[in-house]
Amino acid sequence: MTGLETNFSGVDWVIVGCYLLGTVAVGLYVNRFISNMADYVVAGRAVRTWLAVASMTGSELGLVTVMYAAQKGFTGGFSAFHIAVVAGIVPLLVGFTGFIVVPLRKLGVMTIPQYYGLRFGQGVRIYGGILLAVAGVLNMGMFLKAGAIFVTALTGLNDPMQVNLVMTALIILVLIYTTMGGMVSVIITDYLQFVVLSFGLLLACGLAVSELGWDNLVGAVEQIHGESGFNPTHEDGFGISYMAWMLLTAGLVSSTIWQTAVMRASSAESEEVVRNLYKWSSVGFLIRFLLPQFLGICALAYFMDIPEARSELLTPDGSIVDSSELTMSAFPHFLGQILPVGIIGIVGAGMLAAFMSTHDSYLLCWASVIVEDVIVPLRGGEMSTRSRLLLARLLIVLIGVFLLIWSLWYPLGQDLLDYMMISGAIYFTGALALLVLGIYWKRASRVGAYLALTAGGLAVFGLTPIQKAVGLKKIEAAHIGLCAAGAALALMVIGSLLFPDKETAKQGEADE
Amino acid sequence: MSDWITIWSILLAGGIGIYVVMAIFVAIGGAKDIRKLFRSMDKKKRDKEKNLEAHKQFRR
């Protein structure tokens, strides 16, 4: 947005610099503890409850999450809070029931495709591993763009070259401490980020409410969104199908199916820690949507009173402009306006550390999947620990380079949250069927697993540029995602009934 | 609409209140867990090195 000054100053740059260098030092320090792949990927399975909760929340409360959640608050009003509700309730239920995560922890698997291998054979593991890595890397594709928008809006850097340099420097820092320290450094930096960002966001909410007032916030949402800004079931707003999609994605998938969450469960010391982790983290899962969405609403109310910003953010008929980049930038612009010098540096550092933390978790995660679930099984399981670590580190660098290119090239064309959910759906719609039916239905078979994983690929048609490329009329990503999830479950059942595994078929004949 | 505003304001106030308490607990408990994690991994590494050394001496 043009013509807006920011409070970000030289002092804040110094705070950011010190904080980021400190996190790299942590990565270098913990490298001394890494002696095998389990230490590197799941921190030697020695993480206790409080640290696991901080790491899970810190990792999930990343800059990208904050940006897309704030954008949803901005574009959807208070109705967007339904996403926070489902994101909080589902992990709580998982904590009490142990649904999916406890059986996975019992099996001692480090990655979800590893489970596929145990349950359906090595072929499904390799196929699932490839799909997971492709979807996972695509899912990360917009992280750098979101980070660049945040840095530009918060700091007031307008020169694209300066922004690119900052983003490249951040990626290099992430690559250094992730390749050196693996999961231990990830967990420690997640903890630091949890502390800084939690208190930073709470402070920002307090300042925003005192500056704007609750009645003004409600009035602004009513003026822009009307009834649909409060009622999530309203057909002009989110609607029932979108809420169902969020229940599946922001609720069930992000807490139990998404590989980074499962890795936290795998890193836990015991099954009891896994259950406690989910019960406590449910508050974090709720808050990671609630606070940024609220700040998004505050940004909406704040900019409605500034004529220049209002004309950029609203169409002549008073609705919000259809530009993902603009609506995403409203939240960091707002932070740059309301936070005082010093505090803005701390919150900025926390957000950039969050950006790095999400990157490190995801880079480590996808590199581990490619090594452990694709390359090692293809080589018949023969690969030394040293070679695995070296390969994982090399892959982290290669993925980093890909992300740099993808974020510059890909036209987003939809809300960031919707991009994230639908790109992730390429993997998780199939994974949902394999995990739920694989764990809780004995007759689930290998053929059913292949069909379910393939059906998940349908989700790619939920991406706006793909819809345009194949000439599809605008179909809601939520509808395509729900169809893909339904198709994966149906094909898993049909494939398993028509083509049972030999052992299951023999068992059935013996029973008869 | 007023019902929705009430629901969302309770959710916001309650969510923030619970999170403040949780953040304090996690900040303190997490710091203690980090110390324990370092100790346990350090011990594991030293044990491993000791075993390796013993194994080498046995082979000699």
Question: For residue range A18-32, what is the model confidence (pLDDT) as tens digits?
Answer: 887 887 777 677 766
Question: What pLDDT band is residue A454 in, cutting at 50, 70 and 90?
Answer: very high
Q: Which residue out of B37, B42, B43, B44 would a mutagenesis test of the A interface target, given it has the greatest number of A Cβ atoms within 10 Å?
A: B37
Reading the block at residue A136, the tokens are 């996972």
Dump pLDDT digits (tens) for A37-91. 555 555 556 667 777 777 777 767 788 889 999 999 999 999 999 999 999 999 9
DSSP A294-347: HHHHHHHHHHHTSHHHHHHHB-TTSSBPS-HHHHHHHHHHHHHHHSPTTHHHHH
Nearest to B45 among A35, A188, A198 (CB): A35
Mean pLDDT across A236-244: 92
- Tell me the H-state helices in A339-474: 343-369, 376-378, 385-409, 416-440, 446-456, 464-469
Question: What pLDDT band is residue A379 in, cutting at 50, 70 and 90?
Answer: confident
Q: Which residue has the higher pLDDT, A310 or A172?
A: A310
- Quote the pLDDT of residue A47: 65
- Quote the pLDDT of residue A155: 87
Whether residue A177 has pLDDT greater than 70 = no
Q: Give the closest-approach CA distance of B57 to chain A in angstroms.
A: 21
The residue to which tokens 């030289």 are assigned: A10
- Confirm if A427 and A136 have CB atoms less than 8 A apart: yes
Residue A436: Cβ within 10 Å count? 18
Angle, vertex CA A88, rays to CA A82 and CA A422, nearest 5: 65
Question: What pLDDT band is residue A263 in, cutting at 50, 70 and 90?
Answer: confident
Whether residue A453 has pLDDT greater than 70 = yes
- Quote the pLDDT of residue A14: 93
Q: Give the closest-approach CA distance of A201 to chain B in angstroms.
A: 10
- Quote the pLDDT of residue A174: 72
Q: Coil, strand, or helix at residue B1?
A: coil
- Quote the pLDDT of residue A441: 94
Q: Which stretch of A137-146, A232-241, A296-305 has the lowest confidence by average pLDDT?
A: A137-146
- Quote the pLDDT of residue A183: 65
Reading the block at residue A452, the tokens are 């379910």
Question: What pLDDT band is residue A437 in, cutting at 50, 70 and 90?
Answer: very high
Question: What pLDDT band is residue B60 in, cutting at 50, 70 and 90?
Answer: low
Inter-chain contact A51–B19, Cβ cutoff 8 Å? no
Question: What pLDDT band is residue A180 in, cutting at 50, 70 and 90?
Answer: low
- Quote the pLDDT of residue B7: 95
DSSP H or E run through A66: helix A63-76
Whether residue B53 has pLDDT greater than 70 = yes
Question: What pLDDT band is residue A504 in, cutting at 50, 70 and 90?
Answer: low
Inter-chain contact B44–A35, Cβ cutoff 8 Å? yes
CA dihedral for A140, A141, A142, A143, sign (positive or negative): positive
Whether residue A500 has pLDDT greater than 90 = yes
Dump pLDDT digits (tens) for A383-419. 888 888 889 889 988 998 888 888 777 777 777 888 8
Dump pLDDT digits (tens) for A121-133. 999 999 999 998 8
- Quote the pLDDT of residue A34: 60
- Confirm if A258 and A435 have CB atoms less than 8 A apart: no
Which stretch, A175-179, A189-193, A238-242, A388-392, has highest mean pLDDT? A238-242
Amino acid (1-letter code) at residue A363: L
- Quote the pLDDT of residue A375: 92
Residue A320: Cβ within 10 Å count? 18
Mean pLDDT across A225-237: 92
Whether residue A96 has pLDDT greater than 90 = yes
Dump pLDDT digits (tens) for A187-196. 777 788 888 8
Mean pLDDT across A154-181: 73
Name which of A233, A283, A231, A295 is nearest B8 in CA terms.
A231
- Quote the pLDDT of residue A201: 87
- Quote the pLDDT of residue A346: 86
Inter-chain contact A222–B36, Cβ cutoff 8 Å? no
- Confirm if A284 and A61 have CB atoms less than 8 A apart: yes
- Round to whole Å and give the CA distance between B29 and A54: 9
Whether residue A348 has pLDDT greater than 60 = yes
End-to-end CA distance of chain B: 82
Compute the half-sphere exposure of residue A462: CA atoms within 13 Å on the CB side of its CA: 29
- Quote the pLDDT of residue A510: 57
- Quote the pLDDT of residue A3: 64
Mean pLDDT across A237-260: 89
Q: Which residue has the higher pLDDT, A512 or A331?
A: A331
- Round to whole Å and give the CA distance between A193 and A358: 10
- Round to whole Å and give the CA distance between A249 and A119: 24
Chain A to chain B, count of Cβ pairs less than 8 Å apart? 110
Nearest to A50 among B12, B26, B44 (CB): B26
Q: What is the mean pLDDT of chain A?
A: 85
The answer, as to whether pTM is greater than 0.90, is no
Which stretch, A43-47, A257-261, A340-344, B37-41, has highest mean pLDDT? A340-344
What percent of chain A is modeled with pLDDT above 90? 34
Name which of A96, A132, A97, A88 is nearest A112 in CA terms.
A132
- Quote the pLDDT of residue A218: 95
Instruction: Write out the residues of chain B at the interface with chain A, using a CB-CB cutoff of 8 A.
Output: 1, 4-5, 8-9, 11-12, 15-16, 18-20, 22-23, 25-34, 36-38, 40-42, 44-45, 48
What percent of chain B is modeled with pLDDT above 90? 27
Nearest to B26 among A35, A54, A188 (CB): A54
